[in-house]
Structure 1
Amino acid sequence: MKSFAVVFLVLFVLASVALVVLRKLGVLNAGPSGPWPFYVKRPLSQPEQVLYHRLVRALPEHIVLAQVQVSRVLGVKKGANFHEWNNRINRLSYDFVVCAKDSTVIAAIELDDKSHESSSRAKTDERKSKATADAGLRLIRWHVRSLPSEQVIRSELLDLARVSRIP
């Protein structure tokens, strides 16, 4: 009987320790009433912040949006299976979207870094590029190691807007 009490006590202590550890890890608090394991982070990396500010300064007469879901910019044409085609783009995003003041999209911009060199990322980039090109939207890719100047940004995007007859 004494050994049963010792085993019970050891199991009780182990269960209590496990409960404390699981609560600290947030595993037991994941329900709707307990705290969820989220924190606030910066939506733009340091190079993205630099490019964003250059875009805004270079294009003051335009709207510059950051981290935009592709599905907010590209629609599925009538007659095509919406769910099938939307599923191909619904988890993709553009780093930046440049619009005229009336929200007409002029171009999407991607800022590539070393992560774009992996084969899985290359496939994702291909899918994004194909969807964007087939929609008739220009996708500009700049590498993080050679960010364009405000003058280059302005020249490239204003030339594009003129060709597209966008203000």
Structure 2
Amino acid sequence: MSKPEEILYWRLVEALPDHVILPQVSFSRFMKVTCQDRKAYMARFGQISQKTVDYLVCDKAFNIVTAIELDDRSHKTEDDRKRDELFKEAGIRIIRWNVGNMPNAKEIHVVIQEV
């Protein structure tokens, strides 16, 4: 993880003691492809197999509460839009925070409680 990702990780751990924080999780570990057609399946699997999310926030039973992306100046790309669409299709809320304006533990707690 980068230094900002480490900082946010420890803030998440502090803010959410009743949750499990999983960093750098491959989409294929929590998104499943359900296409019946082999060609459609492979195309869809190709969309998720090489992507990772910065953090998954789960409850103690490992149910996903939300996904978190830490955006830097390289974000706001077409890839980010496609990622957000994948999360929406999977029914997972995505939270994006900018690396230059990371929330503190108290702010994180408030945002996650709203989820």
Q: Same fold (TM over 0.5)?
A: yes
- 93-102 or 71-80, which deviates more: 71-80
Identity across aligned pairs (percent)?
36
Q: 1: CA distance between counterparts of 2:97 and 2:57?
A: 14
Deviation at 1:79, TM superposition (A): 3.3
Q: Which has the bigger relative contact order, CA under 8 A and spacing at least 6? A: 2
Q: 2: CA distance between counterparts of 1:50 and 1:108?
A: 17
* Divergent runs of 4+, >3 A: 78-81
User: 1:75 maps to what in 2?
Assistant: 32
The normalised TM-score by structure 1 is 0.64
- Of Structure 1 and Structure 2, the greater strand share is in 2
Deviation at 1:78, TM superposition (A): 5.2
What is the Cα-based RMSD across aligned positions, in Å? 1.3
Deviation at 1:77, TM superposition (A): 2.6
**3-state secondary structure, aligned to 2:32:** coil
Q: 1: CA distance between counterparts of 2:78 and 2:28?
A: 18
Pair member with larger Rg? 1
The normalised TM-score by structure 2 is 0.92
User: 1:61 maps to what in 2?
Assistant: 18
The runs of 5 or more residues in structure 1 that have no matched partner are 1-43, 161-167
**3-state secondary structure, aligned to 1:67:** strand
Deviation at 1:82, TM superposition (A): 2.5
